[in-house]
Structure 1
Amino acid sequence: MVVSISDGDVPSWVQVDGVLERPIVKEDLERFLEHVRERERFLSENGLIGRSEAMQEVFETALEVAHTDVQVLLTGENGTGKDMLAKAIHNHSPRREGPFIPINCGAIPESLIESELFGYERGAFTGATGRRIGVFEAAHGGTIFLDEIGEMPLSAQVKLLRVLDERKIMRIGGREQISVDVRVIAATNRDLRQEVLEGNFRRDLYYRLKVVEIRIPPLRSHPEDIPLLVQAFVQEYIEEHDMPFGGISEDAMEVLMRYPWPGNVRELKNVVERMIVLSKGKRITASDVPQYLDERFEPSRNLPVATGKTPDQAERELIYRVLLEVRQELSEIKDLLLRRPEPLPYLPKEVEVIEEHVEEPEEIKTMEEMEKEMIQKALRHTGGNRRKAAKLLGIGERTLYRKLHKYGLS
């Protein structure tokens, strides 16, 4: 959906693909609609699922870099779908007709990784009875996906850096340099910056691989995507195996959305398939869910409680309750310090600060008034920049737009 506006302000609760300000130029509209169509093709053709703000940002960045030939570093926990995103980038790139070769650097013994990457000549070592080309030659004109790049030994890192710089390889035992035209997409679940500091990963290679970094968030940080993922996994499995399935109840879905998913999307897919196979066509309810999970989980401690309140009301109540608890704790600390027979040297200054913050207000403000005040302060602090204000407040940009509309703030 596209929204046309005149003042540059659109409520965040309106789900849109983009905003065009009036007057609308025909060429701008056509260009924008083509981008929307391309993005939908990119997602559907590669099985990329996610409507959350976090995942939309990931997909948008992936689509942008797909048209280029730069090195890409995908980071994120195990099971977040780094391999699928790497394949999607290749499929949408000018190299799509070329090969896509994935290599798990952590699964290859250190003694074999160089021969796997660069190949070898006959007689290069014991057992080398013939010439063998490596994946860089095999992937000529295409893409190599180096998964778990953080596991690569330092000796191989040196040679990889040289290949990225010179676009040439030399087989083990060979004397001839061979030109290769390959794009490298790397992935890791490690903190490579920390690995560099500890001397486990080359700094120059790190920056060479990280021309563009795409961080894929863990599933627990965007649970709103879980129903879409579950639906896709169910449909895929029952169509492939022609199995009956009674579906998943709403309360069971709420349990799935509360579960932390340490194995991320991969674990979710395994759990869904397990449900289909073991439920024997019965409908899954909340009490059924724990038996299918890999980790111990008690739904009674994690199910949402029906309160009859809107999400906004519940959010305000929670913030208000936390503020009251903090104020009470500060009051108790102040009383404790004032009762000390021998105050510490810094006591007067600290007491003064505490008293300033816990002094009873003449008038108690509502949560809506406090929220409005915080938004106004954030906007003043950022010079009216809404993106920065949203980041400062710890909320999404859409949420900020919705609240601006609600409170009549320009």
Structure 2
Amino acid sequence: MQTKILRVLEEREVVRVGGATSTPIDVRVIAATNQNLVERVNEGSFREDLYYRLNVIHITIPPLRKRREDIPILFAHYLKLYYEKYKINEKSIADSVLERIKSYDWPGNIRQVVNTAEQLVTLVDGKQITVNDLPDAVRSQPLSINKKPSLKSERVEYERDAIHRILTEVGGNKTKAAKRLGIHRTTLYKKLNELE
């Protein structure tokens, strides 16, 4: 499949399945992934030439835990979408719910937000969504919106950013990255496992 995509991008033409003639195309491809493609290229599971063909404009979108102000907006959008889909009257949302969803880390990122919104729309019977209606994981996480991040959490974020930045700069080569970071390669592997 990667070979076919590469050929379409390079030759700017496609051949219909079962067809014999090519059709010229003029398209812009927008691709998204949660994978580290530099690592996939280094391990041989992703074509290097396709990576460079796709990587024209690179935009990194931080996870939800790093842009908490977006969470209520996204949550409201998906609630509305499911109210319309299932033809259910909209419910009000308690302020405490908004505090909880903004405080929660959303390890499943946007997919988890979407699933939670659908669950609340379809399962809540009352006229208001309350904290008790939230999934256990969201409900039980301590509120942390107004708390300053701990020194440990700031150090972990700094390490994560530094390691990923240097890995990108050295094309995913972990030996070179460890050398640039001034640590042993096994220490780098250990930190990568801890930070993921």
Verify same fold: TM over 0.5: yes
Return closer, same or farther for 1:238/1:199 CA change in 2, 3 Å cut-off. closer
Deviations 1:210-234 (A, max 9, x none): 1112223222221211222222223
Q: Within 1, Cα distance between the matches of 2:91 and 2:18? A: 60
Match of 1:214 in 2: 59
Using structure 1 for the length normalisation, give the TM-score. Answer: 0.32
- When the two chains are superposed, the root-mean-square deviation of aligned CA atoms in Å is 3.1
Q: What is the letter of the counterpart of residue 79 of structure 2?
A: V
1:258 aligned onto 2:114: no
Equivalent in 80, 99, 123 of residue 235 of structure 1: 80
Q: What is the letter of the counterpart of residue 142 of structure 2?
A: N
Q: Where in structure 1 are there 5+ consecutive unaligned residues?
A: 1-155, 306-310, 324-410
Question: Which structure has greater strand proportion?
Answer: 1
Q: Within 2, Cα distance between the matches of 1:304 and 1:197? A: 39
Match of 1:163 in 2: 8
Check conservation: 1:234, 1:273, Cα contact below 8 A. Answer: yes
Q: What is the letter of the counterpart of residue 303 of structure 1?
A: L
Deviations 1:21-71 (A, max 9, x none): xxxxxxxxxxxxxxxxxxxxxxxxxxxxxxxxxxxxxxxxxxxxxxxxxxx
Question: Which structure has greater helix proportion?
Answer: 2
Match of 1:178 in 2: 22
What percentage of residue pairs aligned between the two structures are identical?
Answer: 40
Q: What is the letter of the counterpart of residue 6 of structure 2?
A: L
Residues 185-196 of structure 1 aligned to structure 2 (within 5 Å): 185-196=30-41
Deviations 1:156-207 (A, max 9, x none): 3234323322224457887x56242142333322111111111111211110
Return closer, same or farther for 1:260/1:285 CA change in 2, 3 Å cut-off. same
Check conservation: 2:106, 2:113, Cα contact below 8 A. Answer: yes
Using structure 2 for the length normalisation, give the TM-score. Answer: 0.62
Q: 3-state SS of the aligned residue for 1:280?
A: coil
Match of 1:279 in 2: 124
Residues 4-403 of structure 1 aligned to structure 2 (within 5 Å): 156-169=1-14, 178-183=22-27, 184-291=29-136, 296-297=137-138, 299=140, 301-304=141-144, 315=148, 322=151
Deviates more, 1:218-227 or 1:200-209: 218-227
* Structure with max Cα Rg: 1
Check conservation: 1:252, 1:284, Cα contact below 8 A. Answer: yes
Q: Within 2, Cα distance between the matches of 1:256 and 1:281? A: 19
